[in-house]
Structure 1
Amino acid sequence: AAELGKGSFKYAWVLDKLKAERERGITIDIALWKFETPKYYVTVIDAPGHRDFIKNM
């Protein structure tokens, strides 16, 4: 993310897989990542916030 000047998007970068998402620094499609700790079940969801991509949810 930092190499492309998108350092502030470092957390979304993990879930953004589309080339356009990474180049533009926006989320176009939803992404989901689940993991467990000894105490919690965690689900991380990255969803588009731009009105043009809300339809992808």
Structure 2
Amino acid sequence: MDNKEKVRINIVVIGQANSGKSTTTAHLLYKLGGIGKDVIERLEKEAYEANWPSFKYAWVLDKLKGERERGATIDISMSKFETNKYNCTVIDAPGHREYIRNMINYWWF
């Protein structure tokens, strides 16, 4: 099936702060083959060295220095992957009240 025949799926992951949105989303992307094992191994090492060992998956999406220092998503991040039938876009949104404006501004424009 070529790209013209594939169904497009857009997913936005929203929820309460510290509920595991980034971790779950990145783990799903990894399991579906959208992220290589080498990337996860590198981030696992970086997260351990930064004393955030459980954030290896979250750091796939949380790339900003401030996000990694605070342990919280500040801005949206978008990832794409495809399967035999679907072209998928996944957007990870911030959950903290002070950063929700970033998500709203993204969708407004």
The TM-score, its normalising length taken from structure 1, stands at 0.78
Matches within 5 A, 1:12-51: 12-51=58-97
- State how far apart, in whole Å, the 2-side matches of 1:34 and 1:47 are: 15
Higher relative contact order (CA 8 A, sep 6+): 2
Shift of 1:39: 4.5
- State how far apart, in whole Å, the 1-side matches of 2:56 and 2:92 are: 12
Kindly, what percent of the aligned residue pairs are identical? Answer: 72
- State how far apart, in whole Å, the 2-side matches of 1:47 and 1:36 are: 20
- State how far apart, in whole Å, the 1-side matches of 2:91 and 2:58 are: 9
Q: How many residues align?
A: 57
Structure 1 stretches of at least 4 aligned residues deviating more than 2 Å after TM superposition: 37-45
Highest Rg: 1 or 2? 2
CA RMSD of aligned residues (A): 1.5
- State how far apart, in whole Å, the 2-side matches of 1:7 and 1:44 are: 24
The TM-score, its normalising length taken from structure 2, stands at 0.46
User: For residue 10 of structure 1, what is the amino acid of its counterpart?
Assistant: K
- Structure 2 unpaired stretches of 5+: 1-46, 104-109
1:10 and 1:42, CA in 2 relative to 1: closer, same or farther beyond 3 A? farther
Shift of 1:40: 4.0
- State how far apart, in whole Å, the 1-side matches of 2:57 and 2:66 are: 16
- State how far apart, in whole Å, the 2-side matches of 1:10 and 1:46 are: 15
More helix by share: 2
